[in-house]
Structure 1
Amino acid sequence: MKGKTVRANWSLRTKKFALPSVFLLCIFFFLAGLFGSSFFHHSQEDEYGMRAKLLEKSTAEETEHRLLHAGESGDDFVTSIPFQVLSWNPRALYFPNFASAEQCESIIEMARAELTPSELRLREGETEEGTKGVRTSSGMFISASKDKTGVLEVIENKIAKATKIPRTHGEAFNILRYEVRQKYDSHYDAFNPAEYGPQETQRMASFLLYLTDVQEGGETMFPYENGSNMNSSYDFEDCIGLKIKPRKGDGLLFYSLFPNGTIDPTSLHGSCPVIKGEKWVATKWIHTENLLQLRSKVLQR
């Protein structure tokens, strides 16, 4: 009888505590899941936040990486310059906020009084009269060493970091202004020896720094992107294909040559007519050869 009484009492106790125990277990697992989800969410936020902070670092800031000793021409810090791949054919990269508004305005003021009608390099057999209207902008050339403000030197150094090509391979800046209806028909920045004669050096890449916003028109266009329009009757004037709208302070890098040195046919590009507003751009053409050494060789001949 005693054994039965004990069993009955134990059964009664388990029945009393069964429901509260299940309830407590449910609360425990709910809280554990909520905490785990919150922890995972915050971990992701922390990861994305760290990536964003790395992109925000300026070129003059040191990082916590283990840095190696740099050579005379190297850097003693790690830099990150954000960019977007716009196209693989042609190879075109977009650099948002590459220069500040103050830097852009300084370049414009420096160039404004020195502008002259933009010139066009002629193919064999071409004349200025026959190519009139192809390029209607005005511009001027200035090297970073001639800029007393130092702004162009800062920009030139940043372009060298972005392209991984030394400053010595770059021409002087070509500062250009496009007013309403002014444009530049589609063309190549590299010079085909079959059309222009032998070339001691080639323009392998071009970096465009947009100095102003443009209210309407003025886009940089690539009509042959991914081979489009190459088999049609494209007349080099139509503004079609990949189009990049100028935004103040942003940069555009594209390559005119393949790695083997031949001209990329999809690098054909032009400047659409400005419809409203004014377009200012600073262009840096980058060559296959060290231009300082090349000039020195020419002088020694």
Structure 2
Amino acid sequence: MKSRGKTGAGIITGWSSMGLPAVFLLCIFFFFLGFFGSSLFSQQVENESASLHITRPRPRMLNQNEYDPMPQGDSGDDYFTTIPFQILSWKPRALYFPGFATEQQCNGIIKMAKVKLAPSTLALRKGETAENTKDIRTSSGMFVSSYEDKTGILDQIEKKIERATMIPRRHGEAFNVLRYDLGQKYNSHYDAFNPTEYGPQKSQRIASFLLYLSDVEEGGETMFPFENGENADSNYDFRKCIGLKIKPRKGDGLLFYSLYPNGTIDPTSLHGSCPVIKGQKWVATKWLRNEEDFD
């Protein structure tokens, strides 16, 4: 017991003999040692996280069990559904849907389209002919309705588009499946038809939904040159590939609106398909109308 007492007294005596200035300096030394040590450790953790490609947390998906559904109407559903999307632009209103279709669905659509492909055509303005517009759209394509597809793939996709857009599927045209080979493109154009250029319209295209069926190694982007009013005041060259660009990724979807809520054409909805530089581009387009009977 005595030896323990002497040891304790020796420590106290040693600190006392150093004096207050020395004790103060030691305290400062240990403070900065701890501060810089923690900073270095924090930096090391950040570097290790970066090397492991740790990114910001992904948005939490909706859990069916978290909410009690409201009483639905006769035409509604009693379950929650989540179709993730990103707002790409407000001018035009353009939404991106990652992973909208599966790889198997995309491959199935390509398989059914390959046997019926033909050079793509255009709706002609007054005075235009197929000959003087042949360089505007150089892809190959075909039209197919969901009721023609015995596999049921297009029916599944059409139902999902209906949920994503809240536009009844009976307002949709047949799917236009397109293939763009090397160098092929579609110059900037509108999906809606201006009556002053195309004559009176029985119905109008409200929106377009593009389902990318393949990746493209380089080029092939969907572009909006007038996004947010850019390039609209200049003498725009419709062959240019500028503005907001969306790279095709297999299974992803793109929705954009051609009309304002008042029914007039949104000038910023001008869009096109950039030339394919490397690879091949497959896409299925669904045009949505403001009327059911549009034939």
> Per the shorter chain, which TM-score range?
0.7 to 0.9
- How far residue 192 of structure 1 moved from its aligned partner, in angstroms, is 0.1
Name the aligned partner's letter for residue 228 of structure 1: E
Name the aligned partner's letter for residue 185 of structure 1: N
Q: 1:247 aligns with which of 233, 246, 249?
A: 249
Separation in structure 2 between the aligned mates of residue 67 and residue 102 of structure 1, nearest angstrom: 32
Name the aligned partner's letter for residue 110 of structure 1: M
| C-alpha contact (below 8 Å) 1:90/1:255 kept by paired residues | yes
Q: Secondary structure at the match of 2:60?
A: helix
Number of the residue aligned with 1:82: 84
Name the aligned partner's letter for residue 215 of structure 1: E
| C-alpha contact (below 8 Å) 1:190/1:256 kept by paired residues | yes
Q: Which runs of 5+ in 1 are unaligned?
A: 1-47, 296-301
Name the aligned partner's letter for residue 230 of structure 2: S
Number of the residue aligned with 2:283: 281
| C-alpha contact (below 8 Å) 1:222/1:240 kept by paired residues | yes
> Greater shift after overlay, 75-84 or 277-286?
75-84
- How far residue 78 of structure 1 moved from its aligned partner, in angstroms, is 1.1
Number of the residue aligned with 2:128: 126
- How far residue 72 of structure 1 moved from its aligned partner, in angstroms, is 4.3
Q: Say yes or no: does 1:52 pair with 2:47.
A: no
Separation in structure 1 between the aligned mates of residue 100 and residue 266 of structure 2, nearest angstrom: 26
Q: How does 1:1-301 map to 2 (within 5 A)?
A: 52-54=60-62, 62-291=64-293
Separation in structure 1 between the aligned mates of residue 224 and residue 58 of structure 2, nearest angstrom: 36
- How far residue 77 of structure 1 moved from its aligned partner, in angstroms, is 1.0
Separation in structure 1 between the aligned mates of residue 139 and residue 208 of structure 2, nearest angstrom: 18
Name the aligned partner's letter for residue 280 of structure 2: E
Separation in structure 2 between the aligned mates of residue 230 and residue 203 of structure 1, nearest angstrom: 22
Alignment deviations for residues 155-185 of structure 1 (CA, whole Å, 9 cap, x no partner)? 1000010001110110010000000000000
- Judging changes above 3 Å, is the alpha-carbon distance between structure 1 residues 155 and 63 closer, same or farther for their aligned structure 2 residues? farther
Name the aligned partner's letter for residue 291 of structure 2: E
- How far residue 70 of structure 1 moved from its aligned partner, in angstroms, is 3.5
| C-alpha contact (below 8 Å) 1:63/1:78 kept by paired residues | no
Considering only aligned residues, what root-mean-square deviation do their CA atoms show, in Å? 1.7
Separation in structure 1 between the aligned mates of residue 66 and residue 153 of structure 2, nearest angstrom: 29
- How far residue 63 of structure 1 moved from its aligned partner, in angstroms, is 4.3
Alignment deviations for residues 123-165 of structure 1 (CA, whole Å, 9 cap, x no partner)? 0111111111100000110111111110111110000100011
Separation in structure 1 between the aligned mates of residue 72 and residue 61 of structure 2, nearest angstrom: 24
- How far residue 232 of structure 1 moved from its aligned partner, in angstroms, is 1.3
| C-alpha contact (below 8 Å) 1:220/1:272 kept by paired residues | yes
User: Identical aligned pairs, as a percentage?
Assistant: 68
Name the aligned partner's letter for residue 162 of structure 2: A
- Judging changes above 3 Å, is the alpha-carbon distance between structure 1 residues 272 and 73 closer, same or farther for their aligned structure 2 residues? same
Separation in structure 2 between the aligned mates of residue 266 and residue 68 of structure 1, nearest angstrom: 38
Separation in structure 2 between the aligned mates of residue 140 and residue 162 of structure 1, nearest angstrom: 24
- Judging changes above 3 Å, is the alpha-carbon distance between structure 1 residues 146 and 215 closer, same or farther for their aligned structure 2 residues? same
Separation in structure 1 between the aligned mates of residue 116 and residue 278 of structure 2, nearest angstrom: 23
How many correspondences in the alignment? 240
- How far residue 204 of structure 1 moved from its aligned partner, in angstroms, is 0.6
> Greater shift after overlay, 120-129 or 185-194?
120-129
Alignment deviations for residues 164-221 of structure 1 (CA, whole Å, 9 cap, x no partner)? 1110110010000000000000000000000000001000100000000000000000
Name the aligned partner's letter for residue 277 of structure 1: G
Alignment deviations for residues 82-103 of structure 1 (CA, whole Å, 9 cap, x no partner)? 1000011011000000011111
- Judging changes above 3 Å, is the alpha-carbon distance between structure 1 residues 83 and 173 closer, same or farther for their aligned structure 2 residues? same
Name the aligned partner's letter for residue 117 of structure 1: P
- How far residue 112 of structure 1 moved from its aligned partner, in angstroms, is 0.6
| C-alpha contact (below 8 Å) 2:195/2:201 kept by paired residues | yes
Separation in structure 1 between the aligned mates of residue 61 and residue 170 of structure 2, nearest angstrom: 32
Q: Which runs of 5+ in 2 are unaligned?
A: 1-55
